[in-house]
A and B are shown apart, each in its own frame.
Chain A
Amino acid sequence: MVTVAEKIRQTDVIDQPLESEMTLSMGPQHPSTHGVLRLDLRLDGELVIGCIPDIGYLHTGMEKLFEYKKYQQGIVITDRMDYLNPLGNNLAYVMAAEKLLDLEIPERAQVIRVLFCELQRIASHMVWLGTHALDIGAMSVFFYCFRQREKILNLIEAASGGRMTPSYFRIGGLMMDLPAGFERRCNQFMADFPEAMNTFETLVTGNTIWQSRTKGIGVISGEDAINWGLTGPCLRGSGVDLDLRRDNPYTGYEKYDFNVCVEHDGDVWARFRVRMRECYESYKICRQALDRLKPGPTKADAPKVVLPDRDDMRKHMDSLIHHFLIVAEGFNVPPGEVYMPIEASKGELGVYMKSNGGPKPERVHFRGPSFVNLSALPVMCDGEMVADVVAIIGSLDIVLGEIDR
């Protein structure tokens, strides 16, 4: 396929380029860099011949902070990393600690975790689609997308009390069980969602302007994608069939029936198609999770780790003691180290957690998918137009909170 950049080279538009190259500093306040990302672009006319991402504007030292907080306090910090997918961050962190503790999580808690992770994935993809379309110039899509996201945030708020910072998953289970009537509200959202997806497909997918802005732009081959460590929709857009929900299953994903969406072109369009198809698959998983929702406990049977129920504390002395100890001193985690990867909405979110036996972790490292995906931006931008850089950043779906940590 002939890329736009090649077409322009052929049509002598820039037969007399600038005498010297130009350096353009894009960002950090540029709206289409999705946060505080700065790009040092080296330009020859409008063609990008060099791109150096400059990150760190949002660095808050979270990995340092984890070492000074108890395990249960760390969950709150993870919300602030990838703020479009906080429940995914919660899950990765919590599961790393559970792996160290060898905890068995009850069935109901696992089903609710899957349900919320998939709802969150849809919400994250809605923000991606809205902002991606906004970057490329389709403004109205943004409002339709945020309407759907709003409904999901309301569901998350109903369960956890927080919209952007839920901290709903706790070590050993959930913060609390679902509120009464949650299933009805969730079903209501599920009933409306397919029609909303139809709206997006008609607004964007069939649009010729959209297609010509995305097809053949920012191409990366499957081999390069693996070498650059791309994961998630960016990797699947390059034809690599890899999804950790299927290949390294966790939280019972092996029991759900879903397809892994793969496209082979490796361009912005392919990554767009993968994410759109993923929304349908997430929807399918949500449906199955709602069917599997059976009454039962939502917290593991580990009184020294999991906070007791309020009611038990009024009746049982030992519950009160456990509660006091967990809150005042925390719980000790056996020494060891684990790496817990999950498939977050943007790719492989890995948590490396090391314990030396105390109530605070010795080291917590987050392998953020956005961080790694962004590092491949220079290869994708090479030889493209400046306006396409914006489209490519949008197709990577980066969140600077996770990149800078």
Chain B
Amino acid sequence: MTEKLHAYVEKLKANNAEWVNDVSEGHGEVTVVVPTDSIVDVCKFLKGNHGFDMLADLCGADRGPEEDPRFEVNYHLFGTKHHHRLRLKVLVSEDDAHVPTVSNLWNTANWHERETYDLVGVVFDGHPDLRRILLPSDFDGHALRKDYPLRGYEPYSLN
């Protein structure tokens, strides 16, 4: 199964060697680390030429305040014809937490990116409507960051 996924990675490399920073494999899944600037091009290439027509999921994660780059954004691509899944990963530093949006390619990315912005605090450049989605619009901070306390701050604190 993973040979087929590695074939996609080879095609990415053949098309533009700078698109692939790192490749890792585990539990039958392949992760490709992509430079932030080229994520839209990589998605366009995989969607247009290799049948990854659905963005199954997009989620952000915080590795902790001491890590650099601190944030990562995961794109789980899925092909409705060949049923393969590929994970693209973008690493984002805290000082410049900006990623180009893929909502022009997949409409479904709209809400996923809003959620990631809301909870992790990664800004998606070019997003048509980047507002908070789950938390109230006057909420301060980003709740899924590791340095945000579980019970929050006043006035949204639980105490």
List residues of A whose CB falls within 8 A of some B CB.
55-56, 59, 61, 63-65, 68, 99-100, 102, 226-229, 240, 242, 247-248, 336-339, 341, 348, 350, 352, 354, 362-363, 365, 367, 371-372, 375-376, 404-405
Contacts and interface: CB of A to CB of B under 8 A. Distances in A.
A398 B76 CA distance: 22
Nearest to A334: B26
Contacts of B56: 229, 339, 341, 348, 350, 367
B61 A363 contact: yes
16 contacts: A55-B134, A56-B133, A229-B108, A247-B83, A336-B26, A337-B26, A337-B74, A337-B87, A338-B29, A339-B29, A339-B76, A350-B57, A352-B74, A362-B63, A367-B57, A372-B112
Nearest to A54: B133
B61 A362 contact: yes
Given A336-B27, A338-B27, A350-B76, A365 B150 contact: no
Interface of B: 26-27, 29, 31, 53-57, 59, 61-63, 74, 76, 78, 80, 83, 85, 87, 106-108, 110-112, 119, 132-136, 143-144, 148, 150
Given A338-B29, A339-B76, A227 B59 contact: no
Contact of A227 (B83, B107, B111, B144): B107
B80 A242 contact: yes
A240 B143 contact: no
B108 A375 contact: yes
Contacts of A227: 53, 106-108
Contacts of B54: 226, 229
Nearest to B110: A375
B52 to A, nearest CB: 11
B148 to A, nearest CB: 8
A228 B108 contact: yes
B135 A372 contact: no
Contacts of B150: 64-65, 68
A352 B119 CA distance: 16
A371 B111 contact: yes
A59 B135 contact: yes
A375 B106 CA distance: 12
Contacts of B61: 354, 362-363, 365
B31 A337 contact: yes
**Leading 10 A-B pairs by shortest Cβ distance:** A229-B108, A367-B57, A365-B59, A56-B134, A375-B111, A363-B61, A247-B83, A59-B134, A336-B26, A228-B107
Contacts of A339: 29, 56-57, 74, 76, 85, 87
Contacts of A102: 27
Contacts of B87: 337, 339
Contacts of A229: 54-56, 106-108
Given A354-B61, A372-B112, 18 more contacts: A55-B133, A56-B134, A59-B135, A68-B150, A226-B54, A227-B106, A228-B108, A337-B26, A338-B27, A339-B85, A341-B78, A350-B57, A350-B76, A352-B59, A362-B61, A365-B57, A367-B59, A375-B108
Contacts of B132: 56
A64 B115 CA distance: 13
A226 B132 CA distance: 25
A372 B114 CA distance: 12
Interface centre among B63, B78, B87 (most CB of A within 10 A): B78
Contacts of A100: 27
Contacts of B110: 375
A25 to B, nearest CB: 16
B27 A99 contact: yes
